[in-house]
Structure 1
């Protein structure tokens, strides 16, 4: 399909799991405004890449921003450091150390990022004039 200024030319978007997890993590941890951005010109298959909006100025047509929660169905709870600490302190086979706590929390966050990949929706509605639905592919 040829490139177009019309976002309804999009039939599917592809997003890297790492980009989606990073955007969702930013939102869950700090209320950040990271999004997945689809940049024109538009065609049938498009990439949605991690983006943090700022004072961006765009010519028409503007990129489409998709919030990370729109791309996941019931994401797992983000692991909090205090929860990781409590679990480590409750483990009778491990002595608590700051280093062990840091390692366990890093492992918990890595497991969370993998779990996010399992929650990706099959379709999403893009914010266009006619609420255009497209397929979602995880890379």
Structure 2
């Protein structure tokens, strides 16, 4: 549990304008360059030991908290966002290409089916004509006899 002295120290710390500026600078460094840059900034800060003995540890805990939460610096986020947009465009291009290929395969398959159907009908028609001629020939031969 926290004791009253620790709570009072933290309230005083967060109300201290120098600490507010230093912590904002720390978070700005963390946003721009990442956790390592922010740690270097805090370790080189002339104000780091001015507040209380545990202020450096507290900033270290802040950085661990942000690392645990999956924090990434803004430059890395922008880079990943740009890569994501590029991949989405590429993915859309590939989807369009696959759709066009499927359509082309379907058209070619339909044409082949139509050609097979036409040749089958033509073959059946020629067989039908041949049968009709044979039948008429047989009827004519019977009439002639």
**How high is the TM-score relative to the length of structure 1?**
0.26
Higher relative contact order (CA 8 A, sep 6+): 1
**How high is the TM-score relative to the length of structure 2?**
0.26
